[in-house]
Structure 1
Amino acid sequence: MKQLYFDFIDSLRSIDKVVLVFVLMQFTKAVGFLPFFPDFIGHVVMLSMSMYVIFKMDGFSVKMLTILLYMIFNILNCSPNGIFNPWLRFALFVVLLIAVSPLVQSKYLRVLRRDMLNAVLWIASVLSVLSFFCRFLGINFMLGITNSDYNTAGTFAGLFVQSMMLGPVAGISTVFLAYQAYVSEIKTTKKWYLAASLACFAAVAFSASRSALLATITGVTFMLMKAINDGQKFFKILASIWIIASLTFPIWGSALDGIIEKNNNNIIAGKSFYSREKKWNARITEFKSNPMFGIGFSSVNPQLDEVGVGGTVEPGSSWLAILSMSGIIGCGLFLMIFWNGYNACNQLYDPDDALLLGLLILFAVHMIAEGYVFAAGSFLCFLLWLIVGCCIDRKYEY
């Protein structure tokens, strides 16, 4: 455990302080015990980071720029309702992409993004492991829930502000620490990393997020498959994991109680995904109304779905949001970006590519049931585009 602590400290010490401050500011949106800052402050910090990035750039990614140009056309063509503030939200989205995505390029910025992701992964891992212990200590920072009230499915968030935040963040931590366990050459350290990864996986289960659990399992699977790079050895390890998990299920099976309870409640209500079905149907109906271009950036049909204060929306799925808001053309452009990220990592054989591939796949799966892809003020949106950026950056190493 001491080695894990030293690795964490050494990793943060090697990171540019500007990057570290920026990353910590992003965590204030996700962590319950950190001070709350108004959205305006967050936007100023993001804008400052994007300006810093612009001064360090050598050029643009043509494919990312094409997406932004299309979104401008999309807003002009679809004229979404002003209640959604489409131009303001688009401006914030552009600022986020400049700060963390592969939109702007230079060797310095590629290193900066990797340092940024490294800081995020270490900090997220520490918070996720601690959240595992919080479950047994009665500590719960979920908004609107008292510290000891986590016996109802979906009400435990540990050190995070929402259970739906704990799930994916603990998921990426599971992948990261499992990767560290795999590449570590010190047997004792390997065991500690594995234990920490299992604690994060348990934290995913405690969040009762089915999408996060499925995404985590898929992400770890792809990470190991890429890292091992030997089909026969991979299936042997996978089979061993399943056998051990099955034999020890009576010990850890209770961790899934929240997920089972949530699933049963939805089945009683009518469908296994009752909580998402209405939003998914709304996105499909919106897409059908204008399949080529969608209904407009960051907007929904108010007659089909709820609109929050200031025009905020919860699409219920990032992939369906891309399809309903930007149409077939926009969806094709976004799929091209994700494919480029996947392809860049899959073609290389540096050990870190296995980690990036696992993280990208985790988000690709998680996006099926969570709609944050355009939510520039969201921590998960920041994390998504940072990972996409780091994946695509790998093609410049060919």
Structure 2
Amino acid sequence: MAKVIPFLPSVPDAVYYGGFVGIAIWGMLHGSISVAYAYLPFVIVMFISIWVNEIPAFFRVWFRLIAFLALLFAVGPLLVSPQMTAGRRLLFTYLLMAIRLIVFASFLGWFCGLSFVYGYSGFRGVTNQSMLLGPLAGITCIYSLYRFYISSRQVDRYKEMGMVVLSVIILLLAGSRSALGSTVLAAAFFYSRIYRHHITRLWKLLFAFVCVAVLTSAIWWPYTERLRSKMEGGRNSGSITGSRDALWDDRVAEFKAFPVFGVGFATVNLEYAQTKKKVNMESGTVEPGSGWLFILSSMGLAGFLSFFIPYIYTLYRLFQKEEINGYLLGALLFFFFFHLYFEGYPLASGSFLCLFLWLLLSECTKLISKNS
């Protein structure tokens, strides 16, 4: 949580990644362990993309690779054992609850007018920045919708709908267009499965939602000020994605120059990157602008397909699932599918969203494998 909440003591990298290594080793030593081969090609391409490129030393690419593999082995879908599966499920549940608390605390901070919930990037709640708070609010919204449908008591349903409303308010205040759009699409996925056999009820629900949104627009419209200012700034610059266009162009240029194995795992090529200010020459950190394009540019078509194909297959299998846990996991995976177009964290092992994404993929893989 220190990666999310700035008020908590920071954890040294050695402890953070050492924890993942310890979890992976513990899982290997306790009980039988197997390899899920779906993501094995992705791991192989990581090594190849480094070996075939000359990567500047400041990227610390081997440290990045080892750190990412530690995370992947500990919480990802690659290594499977009964003990690791149970531990991941418990961690996944705890993280969902922690995210809800973070969103709720952020709402309380805003409601009480506390100054620390605002930072250089605008409203950030109790997190490091608004671009992190936005997706956390989106995850909370989808998770609360899920809890609404599994709740048996009416009072619990009212509480979950309250959390949905709070999550939407935080989404608007954070001003993350990618998080808001991804949440809407994820909610559409969730309801398309909930009412898959009751299309008429789904249309009635959609009509009721539109009516409520219109009738209450005077209440929630002022909270969209940050979103509207971003849209206005985009129109003035000639592109609503102006903050990402140059980064996307760099990733496409790198892919065209190195189409098979990319420019090297989780790195950029400074000869082709025009946005050099987005690269920290001391720490080697990169702001890629898009997760999908970053995989494509840094690991080439081989790396992209070895990640994209199992991802889409998992999403397709979850869409076919006839159980509400599958609807939740599918909606969350659908959320990340679109959010990764605008944020580049799938290879950033130090990012909380990277941790949550790979843990989610592990949970999704377990569910679709359960009855196959």
Q: Same fold (TM over 0.5)?
A: yes
- Under a length normalisation based on structure 1, what TM-score does the superposition of the two structures give? 0.87
Closer, same or farther in 2 for the Cα pair 1:58/1:257, shift >3 Å? same
> Secondary structure of 1:78's match?
coil
Report the counterpart of residue 85 of structure 1 in structure 2.
Answer: 60
Q: What is the CA-CA distance between 1:324 and the residue it aligns to?
A: 0.7
* Alignment partners' CA distance in 2, 1:183 and 1:255: 30
Q: What is the CA-CA distance between 1:228 and the residue it aligns to?
A: 2.7
Moved more, 348-357 or 315-324: 348-357
Report the counterpart of residue 28 of structure 2 in structure 1.
Answer: 54
Given candidates 228, 233, 254, the residue that maps to 2:201 is 233
CA offsets per residue over residues 344-387 of structure 1, 9 Å max, x none? 32232121111101110111111110011100111110011111
AA in 2 matched with 1:67 = F
Report the counterpart of residue 194 of structure 1 in structure 2.
Answer: 161
Closer, same or farther in 2 for the Cα pair 1:330/1:343, shift >3 Å? same
Report the counterpart of residue 253 of structure 1 in structure 2.
Answer: 221
Aligned-pair Cα RMSD in Å: 1.7
**Structure 1: 5+ residue stretches without partners:** 1-26, 141-146
Report the counterpart of residue 17 of structure 1 in structure 2.
Answer: none
Moved more, 178-187 or 91-100: 178-187
Report the counterpart of residue 292 of structure 1 in structure 2.
Answer: 260
For 1:133-148, what aligned pairs fall within 5 Å after superposition? 133-139=108-114, 147=116
Q: What is the CA-CA distance between 1:83 and the residue it aligns to?
A: 2.4
Report the counterpart of residue 106 of structure 2 in structure 1.
Answer: 131
Report the counterpart of residue 106 of structure 1 in structure 2.
Answer: 81
* Alignment partners' CA distance in 2, 1:123 and 1:149: 21
* Aligned partners of 1:160 and 1:166 also within 8 Å: yes
- Under a length normalisation based on structure 2, what TM-score does the superposition of the two structures give? 0.93
CA offsets per residue over residues 119-173 of structure 1, 9 Å max, x none? 1111101110221221122335xxxxxx2756x8x41111111111101111101
Report the counterpart of residue 136 of structure 2 in structure 1.
Answer: 169
> Secondary structure of 2:207's match?
helix
**Structure 2: 5+ residue stretches without partners:** none
* Alignment partners' CA distance in 1, 2:295 and 2:83: 31
Q: What is the CA-CA distance between 1:275 and the residue it aligns to?
A: 1.0
* Aligned partners of 2:123 and 2:130 also within 8 Å: yes
CA offsets per residue over residues 103-132 of structure 1, 9 Å max, x none? 011233222222111111111011102212
* Aligned partners of 2:118 and 2:124 also within 8 Å: no
Moved more, 87-96 or 101-110: 101-110
* Aligned partners of 1:61 and 1:104 also within 8 Å: yes
AA in 2 matched with 1:290 = F
* Aligned partners of 1:340 and 1:392 also within 8 Å: no
Report the counterpart of residue 278 of structure 1 in structure 2.
Answer: 246
For 1:300-379, what aligned pairs fall within 5 Å after superposition? 300-303=268-271, 304=273, 305-306=275-276, 307-308=279-280, 309-379=282-352
* Alignment partners' CA distance in 1, 2:60 and 2:40: 22
AA in 2 matched with 1:340 = Y
* Alignment partners' CA distance in 2, 1:385 and 1:30: 17
* Aligned partners of 2:134 and 2:180 also within 8 Å: yes
* Alignment partners' CA distance in 1, 2:117 and 2:296: 40
When the two structures are aligned, how many residues end up with a matched partner?
A: 364
